[in-house]
Amino acid sequence: MDTDKHGSDQKKTKLRSDIRRVLKKLSPEHRAVDSLKIRALLSQQPFWKDAAAVLFFAPLPDEVDVWPLLAEALAAGKTAALPRFDSENNDYLACHVQNPQTEVGPGQFGIREPKNGCPEIPLERLGLILVPGVAFDLRGGRLGRGRGFYDRLLAGFHGIKCGVAWGEQMVEEVPTGTLDVRMDFVLTPTQCVEV
């Protein structure tokens, strides 16, 4: 095994563990307030206003709650999409969602995702992807959950990639490898940084 890769993997594992420990201490009130701040800050950004089609994510309990933005985007006439797991290819696809109440249900890994009737949207039709992660840095580095699903999805995307994070997920430097995709913006409750 390449010792550099092994060292990077160890750093990633430790950082995931450290950040998860910090996030467990965040109260539901803190999460709600900071999610509201992040949504408000995002809605002011030109790249959000200009995006005609956005790939959202269905947040897990330890992730920023961007879900209300899905309804706002649809009401504003934007095309909204969510990732859906494609078990045949062991990867995620971007799928069009028009009515989250009826078209979204429990999916792979316990994450809400579009039901099978929702059509796939080619990545080139999307202008913006909101990206969750475990940790981010101000150079656009992102640490995911370790399976590489988002990095593979993002590798074929040429629009704006915006990492969405609690302030507690920001670190000085995320250990990255050649397959890790960098963000164009990183959004926290207090700042939106262009990388």
Residue 166 contacts by C-beta under 8 Å, 6 or more apart in sequence?
Answer: 23, 26, 31, 34, 64, 188, 189
pLDDT of residue 156: 84
Give the pLDDT band (50/70/90) at residue 7.
Answer: low
Which CATH number do you get for residue 176?
3.40.50.10420
In 3D, which of 111, 122, 81, 116 has the Cα closest to residue 98? 81
Q: Has residue 1 got a pLDDT over 70?
A: no
Residue-number span of the structural domain to which 89 is assigned:
3-194
Statement: residue 6 has pLDDT above 80? no
Q: What average pLDDT does the segment 33-58 reach?
A: 97
Backbone angles phi, psi at 30, to 5 degrees: -60, -45
Give yes or no for residue 43 having a pLDDT over 80: yes
CB 175, CB 143: distance < 8 Å: yes
Token pair 């997920």 is found at 169
Of 171, 73, 91, nearest to 130 by C-alpha is: 73
Overall number of domains in the chain:
1
Nearest to 39, CA basis, from 9, 66, 75, 58? 66
**What is the pLDDT at residue 110?**
85
Mean pLDDT, residues 120-136 = 96
pLDDT digits (tens, 9 = 90+) for 27-38: 999 999 999 999
